[in-house]
């Protein structure tokens, strides 16, 4: 699976660990920056991830900022992007299995590299279960997105 990776300057120090963890899990990272420690704006990187997923260049994304919060807020403004901030492995896989989360947001100032590797492994190996109750709930989220609910 192709996984888009993007980070602002807050997430930048963790990005190499995430790229390696994606490769170690047998997937292919698509590095969308940032490529220097210079300050940038996290919504621009949320947009890069969203565009890559919606264009079919990547199936999922991992988005990094300092806390993971700004990145998550911005990513969820993009219709078709279902981002979650998960610093525990249960949420990192359950967010995919139940909620069809397609972007994992991480805070590079909150977690260290070893926890980050475990989170990446949990996220990329998880699959949406498509059970009836989850389809009903994710369907309601999609209706909310369209302004119908």
Contacting residues toward ligand RB5, per CB under 6 A: 8, 10, 42, 65-67, 69-70
Give the residue with the Cβ less far from ligand RB5, 47 or 93: 47
In the residue annotation, 65 being an active-site residue is answered as yes
List the catalytic residue out of 65, 72, 93, 105.
65
Question: At its nearest, how many Å lie between ligand RB5 and the CB of residue 112?
Answer: 16
Give the residue with the Cβ less far from ligand RB5, 66 or 84: 66
Question: At its nearest, how many Å lie between ligand RB5 and the CB of residue 69?
Answer: 4
List the catalytic residue out of 27, 87, 98, 134.
98
In Å, how far are 59, 63, 116 from 17, measured between CA atoms?
A: 20, 13, 8
Give the residue with the Cβ less far from ligand RB5, 116 or 126: 116
Question: At its nearest, how many Å lie between ligand RB5 and the CB of residue 94?
Answer: 23
Positions annotated as catalytic residues are: 65, 98
């Amino acid at each position: 699976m192709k996984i888009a990776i993007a980070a602002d300057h807050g997430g930048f120090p963790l990005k190499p660990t995430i790229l390696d963890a994606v490769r170690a899990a047998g997937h292919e990272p698509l590095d969308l920056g940032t490529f220097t420690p210079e300050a940038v704006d996290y919504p621009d990187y949320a947009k890069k991830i969203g565009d890559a997923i919606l264009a079919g260049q990547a199936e999922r994304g991992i988005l990094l900022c300092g806390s993971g919060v700004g990145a998550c807020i911005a990513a969820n403004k993009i219709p078709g992007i279902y981002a979650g901030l998960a610093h525990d492995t249960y949420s990192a896989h359950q967010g995919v299995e139940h909620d069809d989360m397609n972007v994992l947001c991480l805070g590079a100032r909150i977690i260290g590299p070893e926890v980050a590797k475990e989170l990446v492994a949990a996220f990329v190996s998880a699959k949406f279960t498509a059970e009836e109750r989850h389809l009903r709930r994710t369907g309601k989220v999609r209706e909310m997105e369209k302004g119908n609910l």
